[in-house]
A and B are shown apart, each in its own frame.
Chain A
Amino acid sequence: MRKNDKFGSRLRSAYGPVPSEIPSMIHETIDMLPERKRGHIKHLSWLAACIALLLVTSFITPLGAYAMNQIKVFFAQTLGIPEFDDYANTVEVKNTQGDVEVKSDSVYFDGERLVIGYSVSTNTKPLFQTWMDAKDIKLPTEHNDYDIDEMKAQEIMELLNDAIKNYDLQNDQFKASATKESLM
């Protein structure tokens, strides 16, 4: 027998025998352990919490709204809604008045409605911080939906351009030329 093995078995002999109290103590301890949620329930709880957080942030931050929109776009495309068109990559329209800028950050046509997501910011600060400023001066940051009939892509882009250019920053609304009625 090698020296190491000999020493190992010596140690095992010295420390090895388990007194009878130990197994019963272990049994009692395990008996008293708190019930644990099943793994998948825990995962589902996390998922639900994430969705709730996303929903909340989508109402209060432009970034959350953007994330929400991307999810909407993803599902619409994956599920194959036939008339769904995403213009987020092709249309970027902004209108600046003084330090304040209104910019489209998501645009899509779901077959019934043209949905324009836009954010408000100032030139001097990043979007998220600016949103706080925008809130202070009571500018809207939510998405606006406009019901329209089916249109071609070019017409929609023109409409969007007009809509954002005609946004009245002072009165916090679209000007008369781009109201819901005129867009339809």
Chain B
Amino acid sequence: MDDINIAMAHHYEVPSDECYLVAEAKAGNKGAFEQLIKPYHSLLFGVARGLLKHGEDIEDAIQDTLIQSWQKLPNLRDDALFKPWLMRILVNKCKGRYRFKITESLDVQPEGLLTSNDNVEDRQLRMLVEDLPLKLREPLLLHYFAGFTVEESARILHTPLNTVKSRLKRSRALLRTAWMGKEDEI
């Protein structure tokens, strides 16, 4: 997989030891890989959860992401771009699973690991986000949840910048309409 060529200065802070951990993991050090992934647990889970409905799919997508990123890590040219690179793999894995589920008959399963620690508003917001089409959810999660800039999100998604901008605008408009009484928060 190609590196994400983000020409501009990174919007996010690259942790000081991340490049060292990437180099170690590239050389085959699994412990370093685990350390490298640790700060991104919530990011991996949150984005996968936003793109997929079922707990089982989320786990599988994260596992597939870990396996592929381990295998392809030596091909990553710029160690500082580990985070967007990881996110691109995750988004692709989720998309693959999403398409697979669409073509199958949707067999709704109990949410399993998704039911814990919820409050009503969080659940409401997630339901609204889930109702958005996948192509609107992707930039929404990358930009607002994962903290990537619009430009970085566009590169991760391999989508033109203006398309991402308009998708973000549209997704927020749809959420604003749907979430009566909380419009000012969106």
Contact = CB atoms under 8 A, between A and B. Distances in A.
Interface of A: 3-4, 6-8, 10-19, 21-23, 25-27, 29-31, 33, 35-39, 42
Interface string B135-151: 00000110011010000
A22 to B, nearest CB: 5
Contact of B141 (A15, A23, A30): A15
Given A36-B74, A39-B27, A22 B144 contact: no
B14 interface: no
Contacts of A25: 59, 62-63
16 contacts: A8-B145, A11-B125, A11-B145, A14-B123, A14-B125, A15-B141, A18-B45, A18-B46, A29-B62, A29-B66, A29-B67, A30-B30, A30-B66, A36-B70, A38-B27, A39-B74
A16 B144 contact: no
B74 A11 contact: no
Contacts of B141: 11, 15
A13 B118 CA distance: 10
Interface residues of B, number: 42
Interface of B: 26-28, 30, 33-34, 37, 41-42, 44-47, 49-50, 59, 62-63, 66-67, 70-71, 74, 113-114, 116-117, 121-123, 125-126, 129, 140-141, 144-145, 147, 172, 184-186
Contact of B28 (A18, A19, A26, A35): A35
Contacts, number: 101
Given A36-B28, A36-B70, A12 B41 contact: no
Given A4-B144, A39-B26, A16 B46 contact: yes
A17 B41 CA distance: 10
B118 to A, nearest CB: 9
B157 to A, nearest CB: 17
B125 A10 contact: yes
B2 to A, nearest CB: 19
Contacts of B71: 36
Contacts of A26: 34, 37, 41, 44, 62, 66
B74 A7 contact: no
